[in-house]
Amino acid sequence: MTLRLFDTDTRTVRDFTPLVPGRASVYLCGATVQGQPHIGHVRSGVAFDVLRRWLLAHDYDVWFIRNVTDIEDKILVKSGEAGRPWWEWAATHERAFDRAYDQLGVLPPSAEPRATGHITQMVEMMQRLIDRGHAYASAGNVYFDVVGYPEYGKLSGHKLDDVHQGESAGDGKRDPRDFTLWKAAKPGEPSWPSPWGPGRPGWHLECSAMAEFYLGPEFDIHCGGMDLVFPHHENEIAQSKGSGAGFARYWLHNGWVTMGGEKMSKSLGNVLSVPNVLTRVRAVELRFYLGSAHYRSMLEYSDKALSDAAQSYQRIEAFVHRVIDRGGEIPMGKWTDAFAAAIDDDLAVPRALAEIHRVVHEGNKALEVDAIDSARDLASQVRAMLSILGVDPLDPHWRTPGDSAAALGALDVLVRAELDRRQAARAEKDWASADTVRARLHSAGIEVTDTPSGPEWTLGTAQSGKIV
């Protein structure tokens, strides 16, 4: 394995060399559980699930941590507007995120720590920062001294004079560029005890403390969306290294999902919730869409782009099912060298997909000449490659009661009878009757495609077959 990853910190593509041979430690900034997940929220989960699957496929012991931010200003505002307890609001939307990740086939993390469960670790880190001269307490708050940390701005490229934290000035803050580690308690807000008085943690502190607790003071990879580079990840680096930790050795950032060139966000009112999108396409098709672009690129959403991705996946899936119909079971095979080269090159999924489509094309050609053994071998390669991308159509995760072999077989009999009628009508040049059959199938969600080797049908809910 010669995996190379683009490191935001050095702005170079670097060979991945783990801190501990045979082990990969990864921290992914998870959800701030303030509302329902939209497809922009879950893109990072899908993108870095591919990285995890690739590491696992090469026998790495992967320690994968994805946190939950369950206390933060936005959660308090949203829960207050809804007239609900902050903890109930956070727990409700945490479950919604877990459900969305599971629906999209994202592997569960090794651990999924909540910020509120690690206040002790945060207090300890703040004390180290104060002892080392990088933080100070004032009026019940604790702040990080940005000017006193010479490397501040290295990750994001921000000049110190241009730094704006996006937070209020705060009581006792020496410099507006300093950021908050601990917020003094306010009436009606949740708080926890600390040596500096009751309060609650700042957002940036939460991830530093949890990453160190689960992965150690130095670990391999820190992931997250590119919107987190500044100030969140810049501040994580400052407080972690300022406290004496080595922290992350590689920084990976995924691009946004955009609409009309703008980042998808609740404030822009262009949110596409995961449950809503799943009324239009299957979960495996949504995952295929979200993972189809390079993880560092922007993914411009449109209904047509989503539909095109779903149809592209269905063509791959149809090949796999046609091989099963003609040749029986398809064992899990091995990916091709071209696929491996693409994934090793900073997770170049578009190139990997091009290779999958090439193999599917060769497999369909093999089916046309009844070279079943060759088609089965190619299908096993396709399964292996799709498995790394998390969209193997034969993975039990994607199976629903309507996807069972028995249901598919029964449907095949019914569709076959209809297509036999259509073929007979075409033979008699009764085009009106043939079109009626096709229209009837279309109204039932079944699309018919005429090919040189006979008609093929595709069911919108995912099963496909070749009718000979």
pLDDT digits (tens, 9 = 90+) for 40-71: 999 999 999 999 999 999 999 999 999 999 99
Residues paired with 254 in a beta bridge: 225
181-186 average pLDDT score: 96
pLDDT digits (tens, 9 = 90+) for 73-109: 999 999 999 999 999 999 999 999 999 999 999 999 9
pLDDT given at position 466: 36
Specify the amino acid at residue 4: R
**Residue 453: per-residue pLDDT:** 52
Return the structure tokens found at 123.
Answer: 């207090």
For the segment 222-246, the average pLDDT, to the nearest whole number, is 97
DSSP assignment letter at 134: S
Question: What pLDDT is stored for residue 278 in this prediction?
Answer: 94
pLDDT bracket for residue 143 (50, 70, 90): very high
The CA–CA distances, whole Å, from 6 to 3, 296, 429 equal 10, 9, 60
Of 449 and 52, more confident: 52
pLDDT per position as a tens digit, 246-289: 999 999 999 999 988 888 776 655 678 999 999 999 999 999 99
Q: Give the percent of the chain with pLDDT over 90.
A: 78
Q: Tell me the per-residue pLDDT of 115-137, one tens digit each, with 9 for 90 and over.
A: 999 999 999 999 999 999 999 99
Does domain 4-254 sit in CATH 3.40.50.620? Answer: yes
pLDDT(155) > 70 = yes
pLDDT for residue 434: 82
Per-residue pLDDT at 164 exceeds 60:
yes
**Residue range 363-372: mean pLDDT, rounded:** 95
The pLDDT of residue 104: 98
Residue 449 CA, distance from chain mean position? 33
Q: Coil, strand, or helix at residue 418?
A: helix
The token duo for 31 is 């959800």
- Is the pLDDT assigned to residue 462 strictly greater than 80? no
CA dist 123 and 129 (Å) reads 10
Instruction: Please write the tens of the pLDDT for every residue from 26-37.
Output: 999 999 999 999
pTM for the whole structure: 0.85
Quote the pLDDT of residue 464: 39
Q: What integer pLDDT is reported at residue 467 of this predicted model?
A: 31
**Dihedrals phi, psi of 402, to nearest 5 degrees:** -80, -5
Say whether pLDDT at 405 is over 60. Answer: no
Confidence of residue 141 (pLDDT cuts 50, 70, 90): very high
Residue 408: band (very low, low, confident or very high) from pLDDT cuts 50, 70, 90: low
CA atoms within 13 A on the CB side of 281: 26
- 130/126 Cα distance (integer angstroms): 6
pLDDT band at 460 (very low <50, low <70, confident <90, very high): low
Two structure tokens written together for 261: 């060139």
Percentage of residues in the chain having pLDDT higher than 70: 92
Q: Where along the chain do its domains lie?
A: 4-254, 402-468
Q: Give the tens place of pLDDT for each residue, 302-339.
A: 999 999 999 999 999 999 999 999 888 999 999 999 99
pLDDT score of 441 more than 50:
yes
C-alpha dihedral over 33, 35, 41, 44, to 10 degrees?
20
Q: Using CB atoms within 10 Å of the CB of residue 251, give its burial: 0 to 12 exposed, 13 to 18 middle, 19+ buried.
A: buried
